[in-house]
């Protein structure tokens, strides 16, 4: 696993020129809107502020009337909109700065906004891949690793499987066409490690990204 934070990329998304015999099979990045919903919980945050605003409105309405109640609840709605706008902006930047790559020999993840880090995962170090699908057509492919020192949950976030803190699983988070990408990953791994295919385990959405 390499960390090449500041070098200019000779190939977009990769820390160096590919060795002879290694080819890029797929490159992509998270869907920024799906990322804002799945990893930053924009809907939950907005809902929280709506509940607060409604509660504030009802509390003041009983005492002071409609005008005063509206004036008291409006700041909470504005604060909620501002908070969600900031979260969506963070998701957009994260998505734009991220590149996931599948080559014939490894999986590469270039992640990070303020500090860019590149992770390389050879197929022989990947024991399994879990595919989580969402109703909006996006999905996440999480990688179970073997023979690696512990990968930092905080460093990987949000490019990982949620809540797997004791043994973080790097992930292609919120990508478009996830089933097609999973097939490319499985076929590449099978070819590279002599037909010892990585199993793609399809998980139900609620189990895969529960309680985010």
Q: Report if residue 45 sits inside a domain.
A: no
Q: Report if residue 43 sits inside a domain.
A: no
Q: Report if residue 32 sits inside a domain.
A: no
Mean pLDDT of the chain: 84
* Residue range of the domain that includes 184: 111-208
Distance CA 48, CA 80 (A): 8
Distance CA 25, CA 187 (A): 10
Q: Which long-range contacts (CB under 8 A, 24 or more apart) does 200-205 make?
A: 200/129, 200/130, 200/131, 200/141, 201/128, 201/129, 201/130, 201/131, 202/130, 202/131, 202/132, 202/133, 203/130, 203/131, 203/132, 204/132, 205/132, 205/133, 205/134, 205/135
Q: Report if residue 119 sits inside a domain.
A: yes
Q: Report if residue 104 sits inside a domain.
A: no
pLDDT of residue 132: 92
Q: Are 173 and 200 in contact (CB under 8 A)?
A: no
Q: What is the per-residue pLDDT across 7-56, written as a single tens digit (0 to 9) for each? A: 566 788 888 888 888 999 999 999 999 999 999 999 999 999 999 999 98
Number of structural domains in the chain: 1
> Who has greater pLDDT, 135 or 204?
135
Q: Report if residue 54 sits inside a domain.
A: no
> Max Cα separation, the chain?
76
Q: Report if residue 38 sits inside a domain.
A: no
Distance CA 41, CA 49 (A): 13
Q: Give the contacts of 25 (CB within 8 A, at least 6 positions apart).
A: 102, 103, 104, 184, 188
pLDDT of residue 191: 81
pLDDT of residue 199: 55
Q: What is the mean pLDDT of residues 170-195?
A: 88
SS3 content of the chain, % helix, strand, coil (to 5): 40, 25, 35
Q: Are 126 and 107 in contact (CB under 8 A)?
A: yes
Q: Report if residue 79 sits inside a domain.
A: no
pLDDT of residue 6: 42
Distance CA 163, CA 51 (A): 26
The sign one gets for the Cα dihedral 110, 112, 114, 118 is negative
- pLDDT interval class at 66 (50, 70, 90): confident
* Nearest in space to 127 (alpha carbons), one of 108, 115, 142, 114: 142
Q: What is the CATH number of the domain that holds 119?
A: 2.30.29
């Amino acid at each position: 696993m390499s960390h090449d934070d500041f070098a200019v990329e000779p190939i977009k998304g990769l820390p160096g020129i590919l060795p002879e015999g290694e080819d890029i099979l797929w490159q992509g990045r998270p869907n920024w809107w799906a990322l804002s919903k799945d990893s930053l919980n924009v809907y939950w945050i907005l809902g929280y502020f709506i509940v607060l605003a409604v509660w504030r409105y009802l509390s003041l309405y009983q005492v002071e009337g409609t005008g005063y109640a509206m004036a008291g609840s409006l700041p909470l709605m504005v604060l909620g909109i501002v908070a969600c706008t900031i979260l969506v902006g963070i998701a957009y930047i994260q998505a734009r700065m991220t590149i996931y790559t599948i080559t014939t020999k490894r999986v590469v993840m270039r992640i990070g906004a303020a500090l860019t880090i590149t992770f390389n995962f050879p197929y022989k170090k990947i024991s399994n891949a879990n595919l989580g699908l969402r109703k909006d057509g996006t999905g996440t492919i999480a990688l179970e690793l073997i023979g690696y020192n512990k990968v930092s949950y905080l460093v990987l976030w949000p490019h990982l499987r949620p809540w797997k803190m004791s043994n973080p699983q790097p992930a292609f988070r919120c990508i478009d066409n996830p089933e097609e990408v999973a097939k490319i990953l499985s076929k590449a791994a099978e070819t590279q490690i002599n037909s010892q295919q990585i199993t793609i385990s399809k998980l139900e959405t609620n189990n895969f990204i529960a309680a985010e």
